[in-house]
Amino acid sequence: MTVHRGEIVGLAGLAGAGRTHLLEWLFGAEGVQRTATPGGSGAGGEAFVDGRRLRLRSPADAVRNGLALVPDDRKTKGLVLGASVLDNMVLAGGRKGFFVRRSEEQRAAQRWIGALRIKVAGLGQPVVHLSGGTQQKVVLAKWLFAGARVFLLDEPTRGIDVRAKAEIYDTIRTLAEEGAAVLMASSELEELMGLADRIVVLHRGRVAGQLARAEATEERIMHLATGGAN
């Protein structure tokens, strides 16, 4: 599977097909690395960025190589709910030691708050009090703050309202337009067909086929997702 700069690639498949497993494996998530492939078959797998093979033994390795994961459950995997908006946004930003240039962090955070239209009472507001859509924007802002260039998005609009969905879609398109590579898993086929340049369909942990946007239909995606030939 290849994702180019400036491209949005959708990941489709039935529940259990391996979408989340693949994204978390690419991000070096703990536990997932012990099963070498999304299907857990034990076969090897490799990931490359700019032609360079990555050693992704932990999420820290992924972050250092410019990868970002927006997980399927923002409350348990993407945020520290009791922490502030600012502290969540700088989590992946590479703080070193106790000497933090707080004013620089605040200026950068305010810039992303404006760019993503994040409505908060202030940088010190705990994220637990934000709406689902606003929380998801804070997760995205965390990775923009960190300078990520490969975005792994797992159900990026799950549990948010229609207006927030539209704004998240705009952000994803902007990421691609600015040169990021986006690999996005979603159980909503309409969402994938509306956003993705290509759709990769998984079946039991393996790629069953790929469809360009112009040829993707719900029927063709479901045919591949249930084990049909491309």
Name the strands in the sheet holding 206-212, side by side, starting at the edge strand that comes first in the sequence: 67-70, 150-154, 181-185, 8-12, 198-203, 206-212
Q: Which two tokens stand for residue 128?
A: 């637990």
Given pLDDT bands bounded at 50, 70 and 90, which one contains residue 40?
very low
Report the pLDDT value the prediction gives residue 56, as an integer from 0 to 100: 85
Q: What residues contact 104, with CB distance under 8 A and at least 6 apart?
A: none
Report the pLDDT value the prediction gives residue 37, as an integer from 0 to 100: 45
Given pLDDT bands bounded at 50, 70 and 90, which one contains residue 44?
low
Q: Looking at the predicted structure, is the pLDDT value of residue 34 above 60?
A: no
Given pLDDT bands bounded at 50, 70 and 90, which one contains residue 144?
very high
Report the pLDDT value the prediction gives residue 43, as an integer from 0 to 100: 47
Q: Give per-residue burial for 115-154: e unless 16+ CB within 10 Å, then b.
A: ebebebeeeeeebeebeebbbbbbbbbbbbbbebbbbbbb
Report the distance separating Cα 4 and Cα 19, nearest Å: 19
Report the pLDDT value the prediction gives residue 100, as an integer from 0 to 100: 54
Query: Domains in the chain, please, with CATH?
Result: 8-80+147-225 (3.40.50.300)
**pLDDT tens readout for residues 79-111:** 999 999 999 998 887 654 444 577 888 888 999
